[in-house]
Amino acid sequence: MKKLYRGVSAELDALNQGILKPYGNTVSSSVDFGQEGAAFRAGYTWGESLENGVLAHQVDSGMKNLGFISTSTSFEVARHFATRGNTCDGYMYTLDVEKFQGAGVKIVESEHSPYPDENEISIYAEDGGCIPDIVILTKQFIKKAQF
């Protein structure tokens, strides 16, 4: 079974009422003049495209209020995001990729990820809404480490 991990702070999880909710409901985007992360040979295309949208999302998930949710193939990377670098408590969602197709969830992997060490896989719901609960295997509370 292939799994993806989504780490969110306890604050964001409460704000979203425990739902994997994107900022917006569209995934295609154009590139704006001076847009953070947009550079020659950075993978952006002319006009509006899915690739432009995913790259903008991966640079800053709130940049264009798109419909993506960030996940990682790495539990440790997702744990870092859940605890905001060990500064707060959070939650770790484990997602079952095998259920994505039947639940209307799409995966977008970019060859041009601005942060390749994060092993990011962007996902979105085809209907532009939240990620359905049916793909969530577990939701685990992650306490920040005490030093």
The whole-number pLDDT of residue 65 equals 64
pTM: 0.80
Within 8 A by CB and 6+ apart from 144, the residues are 83, 86, 87, 88, 89, 90
Q: Average of pLDDT values for 56-67?
A: 63
Question: What is the rounded distance in angstroms from the CA atom of residue 131 to the CA atom of residue 107?
Answer: 12
The whole-number pLDDT of residue 56 equals 66
Kindly state whether residue 13 falls inside one of the protein's structural domains. Answer: yes
Amino acid (one-letter) located at 67: G
Whichever domain contains 9, its CATH number is: 3.20.170.30
Give how many domains the chain has, as a whole number.
1
Mean of the per-residue pLDDT values for the chain? 82
The whole-number pLDDT of residue 40 equals 46
Rg from Cα positions in the chain:
15
pLDDT at 63 > cutoff 60:
no
The whole-number pLDDT of residue 94 equals 98
Q: Are 56 and 122 in contact (CB under 8 A)?
A: no
Q: Which two tokens stand for residue 73?
A: 């193939």
Question: What is the rounded distance in angstroms from the CA atom of residue 88 to the CA atom of residue 18?
Answer: 17
pLDDT > 70 in the chain, percent:
68
Question: What is the rounded distance in angstroms from the CA atom of residue 53 to the CA atom of residue 104?
Answer: 19
pLDDT at 37 > cutoff 80:
no
The whole-number pLDDT of residue 104 equals 97
Domain span at residue 88 reads: 3-142
Kindly state whether residue 108 falls inside one of the protein's structural domains. Answer: yes
Q: Average of pLDDT values for 113-120?
A: 77
> Tens of pLDDT along 118-146?
888 889 899 989 999 999 999 999 998 86
The whole-number pLDDT of residue 33 equals 53
Question: What is the rounded distance in angstroms from the CA atom of residue 142 to the CA atom of residue 109?
Answer: 26
Kindly state whether residue 77 falls inside one of the protein's structural domains. Answer: yes
> Tens of pLDDT along 80-105?
999 999 999 999 999 999 999 999 99
Kindly state whether residue 102 falls inside one of the protein's structural domains. Answer: yes
Kindly state whether residue 147 falls inside one of the protein's structural domains. Answer: no
Phi, psi of 98 (to 5 degrees): -65, -20
Question: What is the rounded distance in angstroms from the CA atom of residue 105 to the CA atom of residue 124?
Answer: 6
